């Protein structure tokens, strides 16, 4: 529709639309570029008021050409919950939680996979594969089933049980790997040639990030055109962070917002915090985390491919990076459930101790408008409630 090119996020090399791409020749992610002047003609606030509450309401800034190619389970337009009780406890003026647990498959991975699988279908791909800490596998399996495509998913043997069971239920081939997502990616690469996979890994194809960027469009719509002062985001591969930053730039070009931007904070678990370490050391790239371990499965990404983009966004937005302990995450899961009725995933819950710390340090002003992301449902982590969280 409005796609003009795919452009490398590192070397700026330009690629024409309409073809199958993984990474740039230089090995870095490709990002979609749109004719935003053209998009702005029809993507207006008044037009949006009449559109369905899914991420496809931002059709003009999504890469799918024809409506018929869209593979949807009703993803996106999740609630932005005001949390006055929690805000009062923390001593912050305005606190919202963007509750991504309302997505199909119970996590925001649905956003990326809806767009990636739609594009895969448009491009005539039939066999998709993904290495995943867990939730991406479930989401790919669901959307592939919906589209009638094949999916092979590689996940750590100790990924949450829900991820294994849902992927099996959707008819995916589930390959359990001894090791982390990096080992899963290696196994996938080994089998790629023989099996003819298209690799739907985070940022190794250009469209998952397009699905995830819609979180920022929704935030601005739900805040009546305002941009929050601060965003805390549980960061694994960083797709959502990179996507949202791209979306804010697009929204400025569309005339929706001015040059104001939220301060972006990456939240990681102390057992796997490559971005936090690189940020603190002033580095522009992350070093692989050795022996990565945390109960927050979605944050067990030892070295994100988009590290240089994440670090650049944290610095340019005057944000930061915070690591929290697993015990703090468990406590936060209980607190969110009791204080706000939110059965959060551990990744999302990690934002709460991070916010407490940033407020205590004076890094975030008590008058700020803060948005936390609960990226998935606690229902996908019942194994934690049976073990670490058992009474
Ligand atoms: C994958 C995942 C994350 C991390 O998302 P990125 O955008 O890749 O950083 C956070 N929370 C949950 C529940 C996830 O599944
Ligand atoms: Zn490049």
Return residues with CB closer than 5 A to ligand 2 (ion). Answer: 8, 10-11, 13, 24, 26, 28
Report the residue among 113, 210, 336, 376 best suited for mutation to probe ligand 1: largest number of ligand atoms under 8 A from its CB: 376
Distance in angstroms (rounded) separating the CA atoms of residues 23 and 206:
8
**Angstrom distances, CA of residue 206 to CA of 21, 48, 120, 309, 352:** 7, 25, 11, 14, 31
**Which CATH code fits 80-107+208-386?**
3.40.50.1100
Regarding the beta carbon of 294 and ligand 1, being less than 6 Å apart is answered no
**Taking Cα atoms as reference points, which of 163, 208, 205 lies closest to residue 298?**
163
Identify which ligand lies nearest to the alpha carbon of 10. 2
Regarding the beta carbon of 298 and ligand 1, being less than 6 Å apart is answered yes
Residue 197 half-sphere exposure toward CB, CA atoms < 13 A = 24
In contact, 32 and 62? CB cutoff 8 Å? no
Q: Is the dihedral of CA 365, 366, 370, 374 positive or negative?
A: positive
How is residue 55 written in tokens?
Answer: 């991420």
Regarding the beta carbon of 109 and ligand 1, being less than 6 Å apart is answered yes
- The pLDDT assigned to 315 comes to 98
- The pLDDT assigned to 363 comes to 98
Spell 179-197 as b/e; 16+ CB within 10 A means b. Answer: ebbbebbebbeeeeeeeeb
- The pLDDT assigned to 391 comes to 81
Block means of pLDDT (10 residues each) for the chain, length 391 residues? 96 97 98 98 93 98 95 98 97 98 98 98 97 95 98 95 97 96 94 95 97 98 97 97 98 97 98 98 96 94 96 98 98 97 98 98 98 98 92 81
For 33, counting Cβ atoms within 10 Å of its Cβ (0-12 exposed, 13-18 middle, 19+ buried), the class is: middle
């Amino acid at each position: 529709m409005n796609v003009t090119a795919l452009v490398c996020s590192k070397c700026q090399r330009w690629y024409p639309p309409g073809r199958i791409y993984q990474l740039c020749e230089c090995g870095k992610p490709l990002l979609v570029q749109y004719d935003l002047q053209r998009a702005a003609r029809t993507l207006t606030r008044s037009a949006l008021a009449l559109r369905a509450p899914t991420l496809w309401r931002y059709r003009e800034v999504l890469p799918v050409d024809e409506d018929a190619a869209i593979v949807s389970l009703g993803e996106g337009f999740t609630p932005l919950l005001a949390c006055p009780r929690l805000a009062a406890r923390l001593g912050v003026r305005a606190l919202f939680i963007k509750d991504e647990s309302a997505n199909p498959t119970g996590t925001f991975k649905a956003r990326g996979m809806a767009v990636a699988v739609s594009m895969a279908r448009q491009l005539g791909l039939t066999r998709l594969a993904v290495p995943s800490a867990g939730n991406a596998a479930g989401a790919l399996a669901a959307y592939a089933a919906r589209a009638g495509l094949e999916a092979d998913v590689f996940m750590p043997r100790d990924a949450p049980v829900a991820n294994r069971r849902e992927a099996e239920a959707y008819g995916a081939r589930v390959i359990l790997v001894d090791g982390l997502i990096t080992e899963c990616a290696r196994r996938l690469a080994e089998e790629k040639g023989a099996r003819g996979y298209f690799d739907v890994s985070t940022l190794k194809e250009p469209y998952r990030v397009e699905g995830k960027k819609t979180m920022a469009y929704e935030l601005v719509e739900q805040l009546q055109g305002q941009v929050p002062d601060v965003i805390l985001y549980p960061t694994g591969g960083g797709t959502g962070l990179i996507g949202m930053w791209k979306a804010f730039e697009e929204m400025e070009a569309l005339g929706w917002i001015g040059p104001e931007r939220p301060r972006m904070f990456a939240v990681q678990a102390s057992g796997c915090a490559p971005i936090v370490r690189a940020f603190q050391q002033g580095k522009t790239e992350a070093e692989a985390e050795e022996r990565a371990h945390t109960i927050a499965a979605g944050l067990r990404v030892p070295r994100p491919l988009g590290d240089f983009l994440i670090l650049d966004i944290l610095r340019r937005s005057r944000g930061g990076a915070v690591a929290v302990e697993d015990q703090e995450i468990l406590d936060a899961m209980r607190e969110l459930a009791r204080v706000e009725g939110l059965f959060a995933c551990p990744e999302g819950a990690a934002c709460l101790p991070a916010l407490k710390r940033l407020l205590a340090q004076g890094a975030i002003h008590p008058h700020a408008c803060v948005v936390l992301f609960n990226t998935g449902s606690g229902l996908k982590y019942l194994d934690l409630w049976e073990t670490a969280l058992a009474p």
